Amino acid sequence: MSRRRGKDYENVDYIKLTSNDNGFVDAQFAHPPPKIPWKAVTLATMLFVAGSSLLIIGSLIVSGKIDSKYADRMWPMIILGILMFIPGAYHVRIAYYAFRQVPGYSFDDIPEFD
């Protein structure tokens, strides 16, 4: 027992613990920096651009600016353009607002690929 009573333990300062410990630590409420899902944002951007292109080309065929011999491709282009444009525009909008740190938008709202 005499070995444990060294000079190292004589100058130790003890602090009395508070009696009203609620079990929470301030560090558990700190938010980690947001992780940007680059693959999902890239896919959303590609869907947005491709959908916009297909919608524009389909609209040009409908309006007659593109030759009428391509009229059989009009409705498939418009339908595919709509199917690609809507989710692409939605997720690009969320990514833009999350990047600008608008309240209510975060990168957690965008699905992430593994």
- Is residue 83 within 8 A of residue 58, CB to CB? The reply is no
3-state helix, strand, coil in the chain (%, to 5): 60, 0, 40
Core vs surface per residue 44-63: b (16+ CB within 10 A) or e: beebbeebeebbebbeebee
> Apex CA 72: angle with CA 48 and CA 62, to 5°?
60
Average pLDDT, the chain: 85
Is the pTM higher than 0.85? The answer reads: no
Give the pLDDT band of residue 44 (cuts 50, 70, 90).
very high
The rounded distance, in Å, linking the Cα atoms of 23 and 20 is 9
pLDDT mean over 36-52: 96
pLDDT mean over 45-54: 98
| Domain ranges (residues) in the chain | 45-102
> What's the pLDDT score for residue 101?
92
Give the pLDDT band of residue 64 (cuts 50, 70, 90).
confident
Give the pLDDT band of residue 11 (cuts 50, 70, 90).
confident
